[in-house]
Chains A and B, each alone.
Chain A
Amino acid sequence: MSNRVVITGLGIVSPNATGTEAFIEAIKKGKSGIRFVRELADLNFSCCIAGLPDVPAELVKKYFTSLQLRNFNSSGILYGCIAGMEAWLDGGMSINNSDEADYDSGLIMGTGSAGVEKTREAIYKVDGGEVRRLGSNTLTQTMVSGVSAYLGGMLGLGNQVTTNSAACSTGTEAVLMAYERIKSGRAVRMIAGSTCDHGPYVWAGFDAIRVMTYKFNDFPEKGSRPMSRTASGFVPGSGAGALLLESLDSARQRGARIYAEVLGGEVNSGGQRGDGTMTVQNSAAVQRCIRNAVDSSGIKPQDIDAIDGHLTSTSKDSLEVRNWAEAINRKGEGFPYINSLKSMTGHCLTASGSIECAAAVLELYGQFLYPSINCEDVKPEIAEIISESRIPRELTFPERLNIIAKASLGFGDVNACIIFSRFID
């Protein structure tokens, strides 16, 4: 009996595709999900482009009853539940219709805000003295754990059912938390993922601190440019990703398809000390996170074939590359491949970690690397550290693709790094 942990299912609601098959096709083609959003322009935002998933009505009706959809106004819960259900079914599991909870299976579905649009409705009613008019489902849509509560009920899960929140590192942290729970034997399988509401109320704070780009409103698909010389801020996105993690024993026993394996990882914080602040990572802590992730996975830095970066299309991209180079002591031609899904999806905030982990898993399963688009003009500071050939600008089939290191770095100076491996029996 091993305590290895593998990934047996994936669910994706991304700005450039909904559903795993569509997502694979989209990322191979370098398809951008960014478009101009009129509402943002009307509200005087500087950044008027964003990534919004396309969710067909049939898909919503597949998982939500008409009663649940009455007075429902929470995009984050919608995305998260769809991704979670898809991961479960993609993993070959069936929906629990019995009277007993499934105590072997749990979920961790993170988020950063809860039913922002619904909260706005509620605030107007409360301020207008109309608290009675909130109805029965305002509470469940506006509590931060709403997404995990809805999903847990849809699947009748009986193990841990919770929502984590760690800014942009939420999704990656969720996968690591699920990994640890299964590895310790306290769950057989866990859906791990994260979601993010879309809309002006989520993105306003970022626009106010001028961290999003305002230069590509006329060229939306070119706006998100991680590692590019002309990057000028991130593009906001939204959606959800979910990974079904499972013990290898259980996966084998039920003959499940195995996408990849989780070897280990690390979460830490820079404490907003040293060169770290609320919005800028402490470099020493990032490097420590990466090194610990590598050590705890039983691999050596040389074993990393590709890095799926946090890389947001801001001035911090070069610092991140430098931190990777120093942490694993590799540079120039000897650096691993490095790409950023944000080039196609924008920065999906709390959903970013999970959607990007799912992409990394698909790369290992399909033995390809998606192109890091909008990077024709590599930033000079980055080209000084790594060879430009390390950044795939088109669909790439590396000679060796066994290990991918994925990191997410969040506001609050919080970091998560996870090591995925091609599954080898």
Chain B
Amino acid sequence: MNKDIITEKLKVLVKPYVPEGKLLNNINEDTNLIKDLEINSINLIDVILDIELEFGIEIDNVSMEKMTTVGSAIEIIMNKLGRPGTSDA
């Protein structure tokens, strides 16, 4: 699965938790889930569960703590999916 597909799927997954749709218009790798997208911190748990379900992966607690931006989320998803050449593969 390439990065663009993952990014699009991610946008769909976070949408229910973003208070205003327009916040999703100009996202980039540095977009902060809580500060920029205004997702309530408690809903990050739900975002992660939805990601696990969508991609068929499991995100451990250590990885969960690192998932603060769109970029880090994509990175973690790709790692868990087994990106070629990484030690997780």
Q: Main secondary structure on chain B at its contact with chain A?
A: helix
Query: CB-CB < 8 A to B46: which residues of A?
Result: 70-71, 135-136
- Is there contact, CB below 8 Å, between A135 and B45? yes
Can you list 15 pairs linking A and B with CB atoms under 8 Å apart? A66-B16, A67-B16, A67-B17, A67-B43, A70-B16, A70-B46, A71-B46, A132-B49, A133-B49, A135-B45, A135-B49, A136-B42, A136-B43, A136-B45, A136-B46
User: Size of chain B's interface in residues, with CB distance under 8 A?
Assistant: 7
Q: How far is the CB of B13 from chain A (nearest CB, A)?
A: 12
The docked-state distance in angstroms from the alpha carbon of A406 to that of B66 is: 58
1/0 per residue A109-138: CB within 8 Å of B?
Answer: 000000000000000000000001101100
Can you list, as one digit per residue, whether each of B17-59 has a CB less than 8 Å from chain A (1) or not (0)?
A: 1000000000000000000000000110110010000000000
Query: When A and B form their complex, what is the total count of cross-chain residue pairs whose Cβ atoms lie within 8 Å?
Result: 16
Q: Which of A222-239 contact B (CB under 8 A)?
A: none
A171 to B16, CA, bound (A): 36
Q: How far is the CA of A66 from the CA of B46 in the complex (A)?
A: 14
Which residues of the partner chain B approach A67 to less than 8 Å between Cβ atoms?
Answer: 16-17, 43
Number of residues of chain A lying within 8 A (CB) of chain B? 8
Contacts of B49 in A (CB 8 A): 132-133, 135
Q: How far is the CA of A334 from the CA of B45 in the complex (A)?
A: 64
Cα distance A70–B17 when bound, in Å? 10
Q: Which residues of B contact A136 (CB under 8 A)?
A: 42-43, 45-46
**Residues of A with C-beta under 8 A to B45:** 135-136
A66 / chain B contacts, CB cutoff of 8 Å = 16
- Chain B residues, Cβ within 8 Å of A133: 49
For B48, the closest partner residue in chain A by CB is A132
Write the nearest CB–CB distance from B47 to chain A, whole angstroms. 9
Bound-state Cα–Cα, A136 to B17, Å: 12
Q: How far is the CA of A130 from the CA of B34 in the complex (A)?
A: 26
Closest to A66 in B: B16
Residues in chain A near residue B43, CB distance under 8 A: 67, 136
Q: Give the 3 A-B residue pairs with the shortest CB-CB distance, closest first.
A: A136-B42, A136-B45, A136-B46
